[in-house]
């Protein structure tokens, strides 16, 4: 299935290098072998998550125009040569395709039937493979911005665990960006903006994220505005 993505935030967040570097430090230990990134957008996560243990990276993106941007970046040498692009959703993947890691980076909240999606994804994992999800946290932070870019929900650690697939074991569950939580709360309660400004994104990425990177381990990763879940297929 293909469709046109209604959000306009991909370019806005593409330059959030401190945040993406932080994610890389958390997620890369789980990423190796054949990788499938579902809802890859414009490919802005790839430079921070692809690593020397990856043999093949498939960017699955249902919006043809966004997928074309990834292809252009591969051709220009901006992305690793191990990357390729496929237009479509999980139903477009070959029936016998098997991966060592499947990623949903800020994607699952866009999918109405989230538990069904993860169950289908788990069937595409090899034994020992990892299913990796990053999603926005806390439904009470749901803002006009969430609605504007097509989010159906936000998650807690518990609610994300509940939609995890059978046959897989949860091996990591963390909240990230404890300091950014307060910026999201301010936007929800005070600003009610349908889109953050480039200046706000820059301040969050260059000031708040580095502080969160220090504070998050001190909280035991129990508090933040984003939640990570990693499952291992038995």
Question: Does 50 map to a domain?
Answer: yes
Question: Does 79 map to a domain?
Answer: yes
Question: Does 204 map to a domain?
Answer: yes
| pLDDT tens column, 180-218 | 998 888 776 655 556 678 888 899 999 999 999 999 999
Torsion-angle region of residue 163: left (phi > 0), alpha (psi -120 to 50) or beta?
Answer: alpha
Question: Does 161 map to a domain?
Answer: yes
| pLDDT tens column, 110-146 | 999 999 999 999 999 999 999 999 999 999 888 878 8
Question: Does 167 map to a domain?
Answer: yes
Mean pLDDT of 36-49: 96
Question: Does 1 map to a domain?
Answer: no
Q: Look-up: residue for tokens 């609610």?
A: 159
Verdict on whether the full-model pTM lies above 0.85 = yes
CATH of the domain at 101: 3.40.50.150
Question: Does 190 map to a domain?
Answer: yes
* Band of pLDDT at residue 150, cut at 50, 70 and 90: confident
d(CA 24, CA 115): 25
- What's the domain count of the chain? 1
Question: Does 5 map to a domain?
Answer: no
Domain that holds residue 191: 10-233
Q: What is the percent of the chain where pLDDT is above 70?
A: 92
Dihedral pair phi/psi, residue 16, rounded to 5° = -75, 70
Mean pLDDT of 23-45: 96
């Amino acid at each position: 299935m293909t469709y046109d993505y209604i959000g306009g935030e991909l370019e806005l967040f593409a330059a959030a290098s401190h945040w993406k570097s932080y994610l890389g430090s958390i997620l890369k230990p789980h990423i190796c072998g054949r990788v499938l990134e579902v809802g890859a957008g414009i490919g802005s996560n790839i430079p921070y998550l692809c690593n020397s243990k990856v043999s093949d990276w498939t960017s699955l993106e249902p919006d043809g125009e966004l997928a074309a941007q990834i292809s252009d970046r591969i051709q220009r040498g901006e992305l690793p040569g191990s990357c390729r692009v496929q237009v479509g959703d999980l139903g477009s993947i070959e029936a016998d395709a098997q991966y060592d890691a499947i990623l949903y980076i800020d994607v699952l909240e866009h999918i109405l039937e989230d538990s069904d999606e993860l169950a289908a994804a788990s069937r595409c994992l090899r034994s020992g493979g990892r299913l990796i999800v990053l999603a926005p946290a806390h439904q009470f932070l749901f803002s006009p911005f969430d609605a504007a870019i097509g989010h159906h929900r936000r998650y807690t650690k518990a609610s994300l665990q509940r939609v995890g697939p059978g046959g897989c074991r949860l091996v990591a569950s963390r909240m990230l960006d404890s300091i950014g939580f307060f910026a999201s709360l301010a936007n929800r309660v005070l600003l009610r903006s349908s889109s953050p400004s480039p200046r706000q994104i820059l301040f969050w990425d260059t000031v708040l994220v580095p502080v969160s990177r220090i504070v998050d381990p001190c909280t035991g990763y129990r508090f933040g505005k984003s939640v990570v879940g990693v499952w291992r297929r038995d």
